[in-house]
Amino acid sequence: MCGIVAYIGPKDAAPILLEGLQRLEYRGYDSAGVVVSNKGLKLRKVKGRVADLAKVVPARFKGGLGIGHTRWATHGVPSDENAHPHLSADQRIAVVHNGIIENAGELRAKLEADGVEFLSETDTEVLAHLIAHAVDENDSLEEAVRKTLKSIVGTYGIAVIDAERPGEVVVARNGSPIVVGIGEKEMFAASDVAALVRYTRQVVHLEDGELAVLKADGFHTFASDARETAKEPLTVDWDAGHYDTGGYEHYLLKEISEQPETMTRTMSGRLDERFHVAHLGGLNMDARETRGFRRVKIIGCGSAYYSGQIGAQLIEELARIPADAEPASEFRYRNPVVDPDTLYVAISQSGETYDTLAAVQELKRKGGRVIGIVNAVGSAIAREVDGGIYLHAGPEVSVASTKAFTSTSVAFALLALHLGRVRDLSPADGRRIVEGLRRLPGQIEQILEQGEAIAELAKKYADHPSMMFVGRVRGYPVAREGAQKLKEISYVHAEAYPASELKHGPLALIGPEMPTVAIVPDDELLDKNLTTLGEIRARGGRVLMVGHREPDAKLADDVIVIPKNEIELDPILLTIPLQLLAYHAAVALGRDVDKPRNLAKSVTVE
């Protein structure tokens, strides 16, 4: 993986490919390359960023057909040789590929036995050689690609061009997204709409097992058995302006700052002031069906999983339905019991997270009722589930999730309110939650105003090699997300534990060199949380407390005080200062905030 762009039309392809790759660089960025077709294939690829690639693409790199790729390594170290595109030995076929070919070793051995010499360590190069062999035996590139893919085990999103057929591009998808963009006498393809919105907002999403042939004047799609398929274009709501930094130093800071607006969009049209309920028509469930569920199981990966933990707490408190969250990557492999009385909720910002998508497909196969909470309209998970909630948070470019995390948490509050009001949540409690949700955007604005003060605290703590994050019940998933943010963008080691678990082992780590960030909301567990702070301070540990009031000076070295909402909704607000803390720590340490090392935004491989 991770980013694919393709173009065919009357313009020079190279500038379009480079601009598209720049927009996809958040998905993967250890190497990049482009190839254009003009009386043969012209290739440039480098280890490094898209900016490094642009420096080696000459001005006279002409051609109206081309494909490009920005890579996040899975097979082979980052290098010029392992960068995509990959060419066949005869320089006729060029391929870019996201995903993992699981039987690449076996296929490579057969090709080498036939005398093929490989130039890279990648699994992708296998495709180039196989398609080159197949194209000699078939009348069309599309047939060669289709037949080749029958021998592939694994996941792929690919784009293929043939130097001898300069009027077409073939793309295919299985487990890794491919989006076709429809222009005026020109066609595009990419792994994400981010690469397309400058040129077109009319798109078609390929399904798993589907291929498409793009020509300048149109396209057609077909299944792996060569059966033609019909596709209706969708209009993308986002435009190129959504992918600009908007004057902020980093996308991450922009996206943190956008949260009052994105949260408002998530709630827009969904709160009923009269009956104190949430309207979620996209769930495709009536009240009788909703009342029939006896349990809720939430699945997601990374920050989506942590927002699922906040969601499970909200559902249990407001709807009084047993609920829990689990990493999708674990859920799909442990042969789970799928209960018809359980509502399954899949979370993914991109809607393409492979582990989550695979878990959804397994649940559907076993007859589970699955709804999705996703940000990307038309994404694979959105198409696979029975219904769901779109976040409408706008594109999230920075690798670390912020506005999607809080919008997901708000979506869970809406879902919990919806489930609660068709069960036993009183109108008075419904009104209390509705009013609390209405207050959230303004309260986030107040927290954002503390940015400079939090930046100073971040500088104070950034040089510590490791930090502990603790919280109880509602505060524990907040602590987990806070630790995740710090480690992924600042590279400071961070661990999160339930506060009550410190004395069962982790307290051995506490000392002057290991500061603790303590999540201390003003709720029924306040006194117990303050006792935990005392235990840490008694062992020489430094404490940064995030909560609703100033504690005794003996219990904390530093405090971030935030506005108070309803106790069920407070975790959403408690998340914001931890985002700012991680961001400013990363800036203080000189990290690449938007593109942290070794990570990719949309993880479409296992």
- How many Cβ atoms sit within 10 Å of the Cβ of residue 42? 20
Q: DSSP labels for 388-421?
A: EEE-------SSS-SHHHHHHHHHHHHHHHHHHH
Residue 573's nearest CA partner among 532, 501, 521 is 521
* Range 224-228 contact pairs with CB under 8 angstroms and sequence separation of 24 or more: 224/146, 224/149, 224/150, 226/143, 226/146
Which of these is catalytic: 297, 403, 595, 601?
A: 601
Tokens 């003060």 found at: 453
Q: What are phi and psi of 329, to 5 degrees?
A: -65, -30
Which of these is catalytic: 2, 45, 254, 403?
A: 2
Token pair listed for 210: 């589907």
508, exposed or middle or buried, with CB in 10 Å at 0-12, 13-18, 19+? Answer: exposed
Alpha-carbon Rg for the chain, nearest whole angstrom, is 25
Task: Indicate the helix (H) or strand (E) that contains 127.
Answer: helix 124-135
Question: Degrees (nearest 5) of the Cα angle 282, 379, 100?
Answer: 145
Strands 323-327 and 295-300: parallel
Task: Indicate the helix (H) or strand (E) that contains 229.
Answer: strand 228-229
10, exposed or middle or buried, with CB in 10 Å at 0-12, 13-18, 19+? Answer: exposed
Residue 6's nearest CA partner among 131, 146, 173, 152 is 173
Residue 350's nearest CA partner among 168, 192, 539, 163 is 192
CB 486 within 8 Å of CB 458: no
CB 193 within 8 Å of CB 351: no
Question: Degrees (nearest 5) of the Cα angle 561, 564, 567?
Answer: 125
d(CA 352, CA 601): 11
Angle between helices 403-421 and 570-588 (to 10 degrees): 170
Question: Degrees (nearest 5) of the Cα angle 475, 476, 478?
Answer: 65
**Active-site annotation holds for 601:** yes
- Tell me the three state secondary structure of residue 150: coil
Residue 194's nearest CA partner among 66, 28, 430 is 28
Q: Is 213 left (phi over 0), alpha (psi -120 to 50) or beta?
A: beta
Residues making up the chain, counted from first to last: 606
Catalytic residues: 2, 601
